[in-house]
Structure 1
Amino acid sequence: MSLVDVTDLTVEFGPLRAVDGLSFRLEQGAALALVGESGSGKSTVAAALLGLHRGTGARVGGAIEVAGVDVQEAPEEALRRLRGGKAAMVFQDPLSSLDPYYAIGDQIAEVYRVHTRASRRAARARAVEVLDRVGIPDPARRSRSRPHEFSGGMRQRALIAMALACEPDLLIADEPTTALDVTVQAQLLDLLHTLREETGMGLLLVTHDVGVAAESVDEVLVMRHGRSVEHGPVVAVLGSPAQTYTRELLGAVPRVDAPRTASEAAEEPAEEPAEGPAQVVLEATGLRRAFGRGKRAFTAVDDVSLTIHRGETVGIVGESGSGKTTLGRMLVGLLEPTAGEVRYEGHARVGVDPAVQMVFQDPVSSLNPRRSVGESIADPLRARGRGRDEGRIRGRVRELLERVGLDAAHYDRYPHEFSGGQRQRIGIARALAADPRVIVCDEPVSALDVTTQAQVVALLGELQRELGLALVFVAHDLAVVRQVSDRVVVMRRGRIVEQGPADEVYDNPQDPYTKQLLAAVPALDPRIAALRRAARRELAAV
């Protein structure tokens, strides 16, 4: 009997059929990845395996059997025993999955007690045990920490620990590495692989990142519009895809080992700068930013200097906590430096300058959910004293919406009515409303699928060429940064450890930290991924 057996699964939300006749099996100890763009139905399938659509108004058809439980027919009590007991789920956003008021260890212990009726002491001991198993240092002490005291990678490890508490037969991981830097991502993927080897559990991985799938699974099922496009061994599907859509999906994946194409590198801005292509528009000198005081003081950025020229893209890479975002916010003026200065076109800048704008990582949190997107885009226009003629403002916003590939009629819609990629386009339109010379992009594509990611990156490049913009591209995705950047700055612990032309840094890295980052990037070839995983294990054992 298969661990998971899905036959002709359909899931409908009102008139929308999110999953349409999907069938697949997963054997005990095996690993399967559901891969596809946003809206392909991947997460809807994962939720259906645990009966999470029950009571939501969704219509679920077909047959679903998980660990011997008929999910469609099982009573609520049987489903509760299945969830967390025989099958556990790790969600994309650990902050929304963990209670901010309770210690991590208490939350894991509670899950264990619900399923095993163990004593409080035994449950606490189990929580410490599984936190240690997933690599949380000093697990007894850290089990008393609350979620906000953990980094993003540690919170994801804590969720995996919670899932492992009852020794499930199946682990469902829904985008478990989204928004994590490459080294933490590699550690989590290695952890999942090791846990499979040691426990024999099955893994269903939901991801839009084809590289993550190559690192982690035996089989791949490619989804589009709720249907299966291609399904087979990971080596065959990723190495020799049979379907056009799969080839297109793989073609959209940025490659860390591929330099920018000659046409990309050769294209110049449409407007020639008055002082030549080397004109410096933004310059940072000796930037330092500290948070806190006394013994708790923390220096996030320490003595960083760099220049940004008109029409160029500078990529800034590094792990979480390296100071990338803090540096970007100082360049924009959202944070004042503790020391050093930022100069725009040769003049010391104080506060926020409309000429330097920012596109944020999470457009959901940067757009007011109670205001139409048109009104949010109009804010910079009104702030610059253009608020007297509402007709002209509305016309300009419509132009900007069309400029970023959206419909001008979307002015009165609200953020929740748009996809992630569309919301990011709205963020770009809002930045353009101020007529900037420099745009700082803070992880602008980290949560987007590869095709949407490619569309947003192409849009930024098109705008840069037409308007002569300088772009600062802050990201943890080294492959994307290589494809978009003229120069790359590598940061670690608040300092620049290496910088130079993108191809030089990537093809001939000098600093050991840069080499470590590049070695952690997922490989699309599963055989190369296996060799890299073995190398990381050997290094960790030394």
Structure 2
Amino acid sequence: MTAASRAATAALVEVADLRIEFPTDGGAVRAVDGLDFSLGAGQALGLVGESGSGKSATAYALLGLHRGTGARVSGTVRVDGTDVLTATDAELRRLRGGAAAMVFQDPLSALDPYFAIGDQIAEVYRVHHRVSKSAARARAVEVLDRVGIADAARRSRSRPHEFSGGMRQRALIAMALACEPRLLIADEPTTALDVTVQAQILDLLHELRAETGMGLLLVTHDLGVVAGSVDRILVMRDGRAVEGGPVGTVLSAPSAAYTRALLAAVPRLDGPAGPEGPAGADVPAQAKPVDAAEPAADAAGLAVGPVPTPTPALLKGGPVAEDGALLVAEGLRREFKRGRHAFTAVDDVSLTVRAGETLGVVGESGSGKTTLGRMLVRLLDPTRGRIHYGGRDIAPLGDRALRPLRRELQMVFQDPVSSLNPRRSIGESIADPLRAEGRLSDAAVVSRVKDLLERVGLDPDWYHRYPHEFSGGQRQRVGIARALAPEPKLIVCDEPVSALDVTTQAQVVALLGELQRDLGLALVFIAHDLAVVRQVSDRVAVMRGGRIVESGTVDQVYDAPRDPYTKGLLAAVPVLDPAEAAERRENRRELRSVMVTAP
């Protein structure tokens, strides 16, 4: 065998007995424990598992990103012929961006907010190639155009905040492609993106791999994402590989109970509709994965504590009309003005929320979902329109008049990290609305907060812990407990599970469904994930460009969609069958080709 043929058959990535430990005050936490895998040129491998399973730590090790952090890394990590663990700093610099590049999960934090997108890509290119600034700028425009950024020359001068989430992710992919790497590592590249943008990013990665022959390591918690994007899967749990093999084999006939639990937790369009069948209900209790830092009780299922008797005030004393309507919005409009220009985020939206039901609101990013939700609970003033609650129009009410209603209309925000004060304990954050009412003694407030913590599946003794001590799923449970504290009648949930792994997502969704049934709550569930919305909603409203383009019962909207936009959203939802995923990708490619060539 010639040297050239040996190079062609040599693995692009070789990992053997990889172990990664992070030192702590009490010793060390082993994030990766004896991992082995390989990846050839042109191949795609999916690393799948929950948050805390060691996926990202493994990906970072391929580029030596743990160096200088205090982490202890051992074993063998070889990438494109470079021994990463023994390489010099100069060798690692040549490897990063040159032979191997990484696309990070959060493009907003990975991009410098002060510099234009094109300048940042050009800088990466000049690190590895001795070219002029103008040549580097031309290369930046070239790769931005390649990843589908329209009018790339002009948009290359834009800064990150001027790009949408999907465009920022494309910009990161363009930066990774600038030096034509042989390996692309994508760490949760579609987390928190809406389904259509997610499909576009995954299609782009597939096309780039087919064109360039580069290897792809796709890190994700979502088995639906990997189904149509990789050749092989490696399922990780607690730093170890629990199962691996061809994508079709693992997804159709998983051998490990943990893999089966992950598959069961994936929300599906063909799954049970409505809140009677919450996500995750069919996950085997003994195999249901949980947040790494959660109580041991969660290992046996969703620990939600004792179920209290619903208070009469919640079930009977609310402002419910004879037809069951709790809140009715008519002709809502919201404009945001910048100088002499105005942008209409919500335009002539009317809807009804009935007591005890879940209304799902779906649409792409920028469709107006969040703005609508904030108006419904009066965190935003409508520019025009009416909101009837309790027999009167609350749209024109000022802060003083709204104060008595604040406890009845609550919101669970998308990002629990930014919605919780990092300097206050989670117990005190939950206690805030109770203290604001002034009806309870300090002892009664603390007791009520501990009951709420237990109600959402958290240890009451964690009252004095701070947000950074909790996992993402646990922080979202804290946000739910805070919304429940004043005994509301309606809760607007704004993308409450968008950034969570599928098993934690299933737990949170199941918790919301149980709370609704027990307490008689009305929920407005805002999400871009149509599969999740199907499982939790009684009725669905589809938004586009600030308007509702279609609405009806779950079965009406999902089984017989009328609007082309709704049909497009449903077609972009990931599926677990690799063959079907490939067929859908080809259909999208043909559609894009027709749209480009159409006169």
State how far apart, in whole Å, the 2-side matches of 1:514 and 1:262 are.
Answer: 21
Alignment partner, residue 311 of structure 1: 356
Q: Is 1:327 aligned to 2:368, yes or no? A: no
Q: Is 1:205 aligned to 2:218, yes or no? A: yes
Structure 1 counterpart of 2:14, one-letter code: D
Q: SS of 1:216's equivalent?
A: coil
Alignment partner, residue 423 of structure 2: 370
Shift of 1:412: 0.7
Q: Is 1:512 aligned to 2:512, yes or no? A: no
Q: Is 1:23 aligned to 2:68, yes or no? A: no
1:135 to 148, 170, 176: 148
Alignment partner, residue 285 of structure 2: none
Q: Is 1:302 aligned to 2:302, yes or no? A: no
State how far apart, in whole Å, the 1-side matches of 2:353 and 2:146 are.
Answer: 45
Q: Is 1:247 aligned to 2:260, yes or no? A: yes
Q: Is 1:359 aligned to 2:372, yes or no? A: no
1:430 to 466, 479, 482: 482
Alignment partner, residue 463 of structure 2: 411
Gaps of 5+ in 2: 1-9, 279-308, 595-599
Alignment partner, residue 399 of structure 1: 451
State how far apart, in whole Å, the 2-side matches of 1:293 and 1:124 are.
Answer: 31
Alignment partner, residue 22 of structure 2: 13
1:462 to 507, 514, 523: 514
Decide whether the 8 Å contact of 2:15 with 2:36 is kept in 1. Answer: yes
CA gap 1:24/1:128 in 2 versus in 1, 3 angstroms: same
Decide whether the 8 Å contact of 1:9 with 1:61 is kept in 2. Answer: yes
1:380 to 433, 436, 439: 433
Structure 1 counterpart of 2:176, one-letter code: A
State how far apart, in whole Å, the 2-side matches of 1:185 and 1:455 are.
Answer: 23
Shift of 1:117: 2.3
Shift of 1:314: 0.4
Which segment is superposed worse, 128-137 or 375-384?
375-384
State how far apart, in whole Å, the 1-side matches of 2:477 and 2:191 are.
Answer: 20
Decide whether the 8 Å contact of 2:328 with 2:352 is kept in 1. Answer: yes
Decide whether the 8 Å contact of 1:283 with 1:307 is kept in 2. Answer: yes
Shift of 1:396: 1.1
Alignment partner, residue 105 of structure 1: 118
Structure 2 counterpart of 1:524, one-letter code: L
Structure 2 counterpart of 1:281, one-letter code: L
Decide whether the 8 Å contact of 2:358 with 2:522 is kept in 1. Answer: yes
Shift of 1:248: 1.1
Q: Is 1:345 aligned to 2:354, yes or no? A: no
Q: SS of 1:292's equivalent?
A: strand
Q: Is 1:228 aligned to 2:241, yes or no? A: yes
Q: CA RMSD in A?
A: 1.5
Structure 2 counterpart of 1:537, one-letter code: R
State how far apart, in whole Å, the 1-side matches of 2:390 and 2:355 are.
Answer: 10
Kindly provide the CA deviation profile for residues 516-539 of structure 1, in whole angstroms up to 9, marking residues without a partner as x.
Answer: 000000111010000000000111
Structure 2 counterpart of 1:305, one-letter code: S
CA gap 1:234/1:540 in 2 versus in 1, 3 angstroms: same
- Of all paired residues, the percent bearing the same amino acid is 72
2:174 to 148, 161, 179: 161
Q: SS of 1:498's equivalent?
A: strand
Structure 2 counterpart of 1:29, one-letter code: G
The list of structure 1 runs, each at least 4 consecutive aligned residues, that deviate by more than 3 angstroms after superposition, is 261-265, 269-278
Alignment partner, residue 550 of structure 2: 498
CA gap 1:457/1:301 in 2 versus in 1, 3 angstroms: same
Shift of 1:295: 5.7
| TM-score for the superposition, normalised by structure 2 | 0.88
State how far apart, in whole Å, the 2-side matches of 1:315 and 1:173 are.
Answer: 31
Structure 2 counterpart of 1:343, one-letter code: H
Decide whether the 8 Å contact of 1:259 with 1:503 is kept in 2. Answer: no
Q: SS of 1:431's equivalent?
A: helix
Shift of 1:276: 8.8
State how far apart, in whole Å, the 2-side matches of 1:261 and 1:132 are.
Answer: 42
State how far apart, in whole Å, the 1-side matches of 2:223 and 2:275 are.
Answer: 25
Decide whether the 8 Å contact of 1:186 with 1:520 is kept in 2. Answer: yes
Decide whether the 8 Å contact of 1:488 with 1:505 is kept in 2. Answer: yes
Q: SS of 2:218's equivalent?
A: strand
Kindly provide the CA deviation profile for residues 169-203 of structure 1, in whole angstroms up to 9, marking residues without a partner as x.
Answer: 00000000011111111111100000001111100
Shift of 1:296: 2.6
State how far apart, in whole Å, the 2-side matches of 1:153 and 1:262 are.
Answer: 30
State how far apart, in whole Å, the 1-side matches of 2:437 and 2:353 are.
Answer: 25
State how far apart, in whole Å, the 2-side matches of 1:363 and 1:10 are.
Answer: 31
Structure 1 counterpart of 2:433, one-letter code: P
Decide whether the 8 Å contact of 1:34 with 1:206 is kept in 2. Answer: yes
Alignment partner, residue 537 of structure 1: 589
Q: SS of 1:297's equivalent?
A: strand
Alignment partner, residue 6 of structure 2: none
Shift of 1:240: 1.1
Structure 2 counterpart of 1:60, one-letter code: V
Alignment partner, residue 288 of structure 2: none
Q: SS of 2:350's equivalent?
A: strand
Shift of 1:343: 1.8
CA gap 1:273/1:28 in 2 versus in 1, 3 angstroms: same
Shift of 1:413: 0.6
Decide whether the 8 Å contact of 1:273 with 1:468 is kept in 2. Answer: no
Decide whether the 8 Å contact of 1:214 with 1:526 is kept in 2. Answer: yes
CA gap 1:293/1:96 in 2 versus in 1, 3 angstroms: closer
CA gap 1:16/1:278 in 2 versus in 1, 3 angstroms: farther
Q: SS of 1:205's equivalent?
A: strand
1:194 to 204, 207, 223: 207
1:421 to 473, 487, 490: 473
State how far apart, in whole Å, the 2-side matches of 1:186 and 1:454 are.
Answer: 22
Structure 2 counterpart of 1:296, one-letter code: H
2:165 to 152, 176, 179: 152
Shift of 1:347: 1.8
Shift of 1:510: 0.6
